[in-house]
Structure 1
Amino acid sequence: MRLRNKPWAKPLIAANPQWVITSPNEYRGKWQDRFPRKQPLYIEIGMGKGRFIIEMAQKHPEFNFIGIEMQTVATGIVLKKQLEVQLPNLQLICANGANLSEYFANSEVAGIYLNFSDPWPKKRQAKRRLTYKSFLSQYQQVLQVKGHLEFKTDNRGLFEYSLVSLNEYGMKFDKVWLDLHASPDIEQNTMTEYEEKFSAKGQPIYKIEAHF
């Protein structure tokens, strides 16, 4: 969902290059230089307003995290939160996540999170879905050998499509949830803003954990 324009967002991002990168291709293969400690790197593609990636960075100081978001306003909202907490293991990218292999070197990433991605429901839009084979190819390229992909959605159509797409690509499923919030695993779950909204309405949350 596109957010209303906020005139302050772009200037705020420009004033804080220590937290936000707008030319991520310049750091390809050098992302660890952006953090005080070299640690396994995890990325979220489409971080929205940032609840998930911020909470993950708070819970796991032993990992480094990067949130990617193409919307300037959303990135500005996350940046405001980061300026308050100043998490040393969190960086932000304001750019299109579709160009992942241009931003990260081969085997540079330990894990990828896809949370409540746009379902692009029309058949002709399939190539835009973040679990389409061209995206999976990029994930495989940037992920380490033991790296994994985590995918969550409330959209059953996208969930079913993703199961088929990952399977046809040859990925191995570690675990699949048809209703994450009814599972004991919910205790370890970190929610997004959308997830809280949809689950409160009683909608099942689907999740996939898989690797190449």
Structure 2
Amino acid sequence: MNISQIKQITHDNRKLYPQVYAVKPGSVHIQQIPNLQYVSQEMNTSFHMDWTGHPQPLDEQWVVWKIVNQVKRISKGSLDYKFKLMPPEIIWQDSNENNRYSVSHMMQVPDCITVEIFEEAKACVQRNLRNKIPQIKFISANSALCAQKLHVGHYRDTHLTLQEINNFAKEQGYKVKGNRREIYLTPAMADIYPPESWKTIVRVEIEKLN
């Protein structure tokens, strides 16, 4: 393969990390998740629960994907590195009686992305929006032992899969030590992807009981 062909490759982290993003339908399984880095936005918001795709915030602006789009543009120009956008992920932390949720809304980015590229991308989005953007972080998540399962169906029913995961972890002698993470693999286009085909990875971090 010559240099020009290498430059034309569009990298896809779904293929690089199949244990993370290529989960198959079936039973709950335990998996060591590698170190990964993300662009992340902390939110305290309500969601449109009748939305036809992955959850969408109602009262806060989600700008992570705008920043990752700029990261993609910058890395193509400065690193000759092209990559596909990863699916949106939410870590669900808390909720209250007003159906507001404390969440981390994030997208995974390649290992070659630096803090400098992230800051340049964030500044670009800031200029384009012409107003103050929410607090966005560039974070690195350490490798962690997790229990996960692919949920097939409407995302509103992922709590059933979460309960199955929790039961499995307990039966195998583990305890859940973190909030649930959901990775929305199916694009939010219900006219193309009916709800019964939607795919969401549900994952929790676990540790072995003494």
- Greater percentage in helix: 1
- Which TM-score bucket, shorter chain as reference? under 0.3
- Greater percentage in strand: 2
* Bigger relative contact order (CA 8 A; separation at least 6): 2
Normalising by structure 2, what TM-score? 0.25
Larger Rg: 2
Normalising by structure 1, what TM-score? 0.25
